[in-house]
Amino acid sequence: MEAMAAIGQRVGQISALIASVTPGVTPSRGTPYATNLAATSASAATASVFAPEATPGSLFTAGASFANILASVTPPGQTDLAAAAAEFNAQGVPRSLANYGNGKIPADALAPLNGSNERLWAPAAKSLNALMADAKAAGVSISVTDGYREYESQVKLAQELGLYSQGGRAAQPGTSEHGWALAVDVKLNPTAQAWMRQNAKEYGFVENVPREPWHWEFAPQG
């Protein structure tokens, strides 16, 4: 209920913002909101949101889509997770990565994870970076030990650790969520493990591999 109330409040704020801002006019820094509103309300009633004369840098620029406007005033959170979930195909793979193949994704198609040299699919990286920042603010230390894994590395790992299906610790090469840049291995002490189990789902991450409490996958729900 609290989440719904927060969403309702945010929608109200966005509606008020769209109703009160004139295309092409950016409220001056330091001017009271009421003054800016009075100065723009007359023209705002008839102006188009997508006016060609919108000035660069203003909220409503020429050709801007409503989705982009909404994104610019909507904080990260459940909206991001829903958008990420919509990007998965029927096989549970991000459409933007599917054509590369498992473990064959180029580095420039992925995004970095803070505090490490590891990378993930961009929405997953954004969410994990937010998770680690919030955990740090709560006095909890979480660090990344492994993210995206190339196919050849998965083959080597399977040879060294054995296949998970046979009692080992490695997924069959070509099937690992690490190969789709959706899984991360993290270093957790008991406090951090408890924090993850309580909070990680809010960031789209789930613990779904028995025997591997360090392994978390990005699985947002739409």
What is the domain-level CATH number for residue 101? 3.30.1380.10
pLDDT at 75: 42
pLDDT of residue 116: 97
**One domain, residues 135 and 210:** yes
- Expressed in angstroms, the distance from the first to the final Cα of the chain is 18
pLDDT of residue 201: 96
Q: Full-prediction pTM beyond 0.85?
A: no
Please give the pLDDT value at position 9: 54
Residue 78: name the closest of 200, 193, 212, 204 by CA. 204
Same domain, 25 and 93: no
Q: Are residues 122 and 155 in the same domain?
A: yes
Question: 62 and 96: one domain?
Answer: no
- Asked if residue 68 and residue 82 are part of one domain, the reply reads no
- Return averaged pLDDT per consecutive 10 residues of the chain, 222 residues in all: 48 49 39 35 34 36 41 57 96 97 98 98 98 98 98 97 93 97 98 98 96 96 68
For residue 45, what pLDDT is reported?
A: 36
- Residues ≥6 apart with Cβ < 8 Å to 12: none
The DSSP H or E segment spanning 125 is helix 122-137
pLDDT of residue 77: 67
Domain count, the chain: 2
Q: Which residues constitute the domain of residue 14?
A: 2-73
User: Do 19 and 111 sit in the same domain of this protein?
Assistant: no
Check residue 222 and give its pLDDT. Answer: 54
- Based on the fold, state whether residues 66 and 110 are members of the same structural domain: no
